[in-house]
Amino acid sequence: MKQKIALLLGLVLTAASLSGCGSVVLSEMKTEKYVTLGEYKGLEVSVPSAEVTEEYRQNYINYVLSQHAQWEKITEDRAVQEGDLVNIDYEGKKDGVAFSGGTDQGFDLEIGSHTFIEGFEEGLVGARVGETRDVDATFPDPYPQNSDLAGAPVVFTVTVNEISEKRIPELTDEFVQTLGVGCDTTEEYEAYVQELLTESAQETYRRNVDEALVDAAMANCTFQEPPKAMVDQYYDRVVNRMKKVAAASGMSFETLITQYYQSTMEEFEEQAREGAAASCRESIMLQAIANKEGITVTQEEIDAALQEGAENGGYESADELKADLDTDNYEDYVMSDKVMELLRENAVITEQ
């Protein structure tokens, strides 16, 4: 549970950190009050290489093929296997009494998808069409959807109506032409995939380098607690971003946290504030380095960075990007980028 919410916060906080910390202007802060810089030049870090192997490329192609697979009803007499799609009728009972939401008919379930609670899908492996069997399962604890079922052992009576298996297409010229990526032959598509994965791997490599350098630089610093107002502003923006995610998914913010990510609101707030404070310390450190190195930002650099960010991010204009960043401190974004360039230029980077 905590790993799920930590991953979510990591993604949101990373996105939020690109635009500084709310209305606090880093260049106007007395950063020496909050950080004592250590060594930040000559940092030694090791990160995975950006190599794209033949195996990696083939795995990607296999994934694309699997996404275009078709379910085909089997006609031979065989048992349910992992990966099959089964059409089932089922009724769940707790202590011999059917419970709400535990009954359905004609339901399609992919075995191994973990759509149902632990024990349900595993209990259908080996069943045949027309067979009815009792499947023992246990609800997780906690179970926010229905606290009465949390941790409860239940029995599902399940009838298998149909079994279908996935038919994965072959990589042919005809198939490639249906993908809409501008390729007509398998050779063209393989070259396209190689370029696509190489660009992705290089971006991941750059991100890994930056994260490793920031971690190394921060480890050499001594920090005081960042201003509470700064942390509050960062936390508020994280919440606002997640509320947008929830709204886009048709759910409330609380539902997103408590049900989808199976966390309490108290746990979320604690971890979000910890993450906000850590990200603010990072921003303060970067500004302190900028101050020491005499790094400044011009309006022309800000405008160019916003335009580039809009183009790379698929925004129609720089103004649309500004609205999504939810801050007026675009200077912080450019400053951080320039400091990271300094760290990279002076670092010793080895590839794993």
**166 and 153 Cβ atoms separated by less than 8 Å:** no
User: Who has greater pLDDT, 144 or 173?
Assistant: 173
What's the pLDDT tens digit per position in 75-100?
999 999 999 999 999 999 999 999 99
How does strand 35-36 pair with strand 85-94?
unpaired
The pLDDT value recorded for residue 16 is 37
The pLDDT value recorded for residue 22 is 45
Whether the pLDDT of residue 12 is over 80: the answer is no
Looking at beta carbons, which pairs linking 49-55 to residues 24 or more positions away fall under 8 Å?
49/205, 49/351, 49/352, 50/198, 50/201, 50/202, 50/204, 50/205, 50/351, 51/201, 52/194, 52/197, 52/198, 52/201
The pLDDT value recorded for residue 3 is 44
**153 and 147 Cβ atoms separated by less than 8 Å:** no
> d(Cα 28, Cα 26) in Å, to the nearest integer?
5
Tokens of 22: 């709310």
Whether the pLDDT of residue 346 is over 50: the answer is yes
Q: Residues 148-154: what's their mean pLDDT?
A: 93
Whether the pLDDT of residue 15 is over 60: the answer is no
User: Who has greater pLDDT, 315 or 8?
Assistant: 315
User: Who has greater pLDDT, 30 or 259?
Assistant: 30
Whether the pLDDT of residue 10 is over 60: the answer is no
The pLDDT value recorded for residue 309 is 84
The pLDDT value recorded for residue 5 is 38
Q: Which domains does the chain have, with CATH numbers?
A: 2-40+220-351 (1.10.3120), 70-167 (3.10.50.40)
> d(Cα 340, Cα 40) in Å, to the nearest integer?
10
What is the percent of the chain where pLDDT is above 90? 70
The pLDDT value recorded for residue 142 is 86
The pLDDT value recorded for residue 9 is 42
**35 and 221 Cβ atoms separated by less than 8 Å:** yes
Q: Residues 277-303: what's their mean pLDDT?
A: 94
Query: Closest Cα partner for 5 from 279, 241, 256?
Result: 256
What's the pLDDT tens digit per position in 186-203?
999 999 999 999 999 999
Name the pLDDT band for 1 (thresholds 50, 70, 90): very low
The pLDDT value recorded for residue 326 is 58
- DSSP code for 351: E
Q: Residues 16-41: what's their mean pLDDT?
A: 77
Whether the pLDDT of residue 169 is over 60: the answer is yes
The pLDDT value recorded for residue 23 is 59
The pLDDT value recorded for residue 312 is 84
Q: Residues 8-25: what's their mean pLDDT?
A: 46
What value does the mean pLDDT of the chain take? 89
What's the pLDDT tens digit per position in 41-60?
999 999 999 999 999 999 99
